[in-house]
Amino acid sequence: MNHLIVYAHPRKESFNHAILEAIIRGIRQKGHEYVVRDLYAMKFQPVASSSEILGGIGEDIEQEHNYLKWADVIIFIYPIWWTGLPAIVKGYIDRVFTYGFAYRYVNGEQMGMLKGKKALIFNTQGKSHAQYVAIGMDKALLLTSDTGIFEYCGIEVLQHVFFESVPSSDKATRIDWLDQIEAMASQL
């Protein structure tokens, strides 16, 4: 299987980076292929140009389209900031999941064009799950990303994993999480 990993965190010392490393270890155990698109390392430009909004794409976006075509599984790793995707991830979606490539309309009906692709999403957050549940943010996050982006484009979301209260979590908890991630990735 081919795995495209879209990773977004500016710090290599982050727990998000540890998640990335655990996923890679798990994928390697299966002998599968993978490509990491580290949006910060790439200095990915998240702002769509006026020509892109009108349907024109550059070589950088064409390259991302090729990675998406190649991938059987797309893995997103990013923190939840301001109860949503970091700007660089939202910009990736805006610029790469383009009309005519990721979705289109036929007779007024929306059609996802990335059918057959599967996704795993890993998010870290500062708040506890209970705090997000209390205000309905847990459902809002799933509706916005899983339904509003990935499923809209035809991608089957296999799992969306949230790691809660990461800044205050202890080392043993993080090690346990990383072991679970590696095992999950080795079963893809």
Q: Are 154 and 113 in contact (CB under 8 A)?
A: yes
What is the residue-averaged pLDDT of the chain?
95
Flag whether pLDDT at 173 surpasses 90: yes
- What is the structure's pLDDT at 65? 97
Structure tokens at 144: 């916005």
- What is the structure's pLDDT at 55? 80
Mean of pLDDT values over 67-96: 96
- What is the structure's pLDDT at 188? 83
Mean of pLDDT values over 132-138: 90
- What is the structure's pLDDT at 157? 97
Q: How confident is the model at residue 64 (pLDDT cuts 50, 70, 90)?
A: very high
Percent of the chain with pLDDT over 70: 100
Flag whether pLDDT at 187 surpasses 90: no
- Convert the pLDDT of each residue in 86-112 to its tens digit: 999 999 999 999 999 999 999 999 999
Q: Are 12 and 80 in contact (CB under 8 A)?
A: no
Residue 95: CA count within 13 A, CB half-sphere? 23
Taken in order 109, 110, 116, 122, the sign of the CA dihedral is negative
DSSP the chain: -EEEEEE--S-TTSHHHHHHHHHHHHHHHHT-EEEEEETTTTT---SPPHHHHTT---HHHHHHHHHHHH-SEEEEEEE-BTTB--HHHHHHHHHHS-BTTTEEEETTEEEES-TT-EEEEEEE-SS-HHHHHHHTHHHHHIIIIIIIIIGGGT-EEEEEEEE-SGGG--HHHHHHHHHHHHHHHHT-
Q: How confident is the model at residue 35 (pLDDT cuts 50, 70, 90)?
A: very high
Flag whether pLDDT at 178 surpasses 90: yes
Flag whether pLDDT at 143 surpasses 90: yes
- What is the structure's pLDDT at 54? 81
- What is the structure's pLDDT at 53? 82
Flag whether pLDDT at 52 surpasses 90: no
- What is the structure's pLDDT at 170? 95
